[in-house]
Amino acid sequence: MRAHIGRLWSQASEREKRQFVRHVRPWWESHHHRSPPLSAQLVARLHEAGRLRIRAASFQGLVPSVEGVSIRVRYRGEHVISQVSGAALINSSGIEYDWRRVARPLPQQLLKRGLIRPGPLALGIAADASGAVLDAQGQVSQRLFAMGPPLRGMWWESTAVTDVAIQAKALALKLTQL
């Protein structure tokens, strides 16, 4: 399947891609990117001992707390917001692919200056097939290029070494032709 993901993603309609991102993405992320065996064993032991509970929820915010951490969540299938307290908070929500929401100076400045624009479905940034970045007006850059996770909207699977290697080859070919 892995060898066909880029082709399948590019052939899918905009509607199919949106449905995939909305309904399948959480399952894809949690099953495709597995934890190392030792980590998985620790999680299983904590779960079996009742020290760890796993529930799907959406994060609603932090609550000031003197002892540990308190957060507000809305559990899947519920409308009420609950408060949960604990000694620590582990953010396992994954990578933020919407560059408009990435709180880092480089993405913010590139967007602010119009040098990049969000990628399809707000996943990563927009670029052509060789990785040349598209600016806010949709013009192909001759100086800014991307590969890997920033191209998630174009290829979906854009994090594994094999995927990035294919992108690097296309980019190298493009750069030799400039």
Rounded percentage of the chain residues whose pLDDT exceeds 90:
53
Task: Provide the pLDDT for residue 140.
Answer: 95
Task: Provide the pLDDT for residue 103.
Answer: 86
**What is the arithmetic mean of pLDDT over 75-89?**
91
Rounded percentage of the chain residues whose pLDDT exceeds 70:
99
Task: Provide the pLDDT for residue 146.
Answer: 94
Res. 125 pLDDT band, cuts 50 70 90: very high
Secondary structure class of 68 (helix, strand, coil): coil
Secondary structure class of 59 (helix, strand, coil): strand
* CA dihedral sign, ordered 110, 111, 116, 120: positive
Res. 65 pLDDT band, cuts 50 70 90: confident
Task: Provide the pLDDT for residue 112.
Answer: 96
**What is the arithmetic mean of pLDDT over 81-110?**
87
String of DSSP letters for 73-132: EEETT--S-EEEEES-----S----BTTS--SHHHHHHHHTTS--B-GGGSBB-B-TT-E
Residue range 104-119, pLDDT digits in tens = 899 999 999 999 999 9
In angstroms, the Cα distances linking 175 to 103, 126, 134, 139, 154 are: 30, 18, 16, 17, 20
Secondary structure class of 54 (helix, strand, coil): coil
Residue 157 confidence (pLDDT) above 90: no
Q: How does the average pLDDT of the chain come out, rounded?
A: 89
Residue 141 confidence (pLDDT) above 80: yes
Task: Provide the pLDDT for residue 50.
Answer: 94
Between 34 and 147, residue with greater pLDDT: 147
Angle at 107 between CA 105 and CA 111, to 5 degrees: 115
Res. 34 pLDDT band, cuts 50 70 90: confident
Task: Provide the pLDDT for residue 137.
Answer: 97
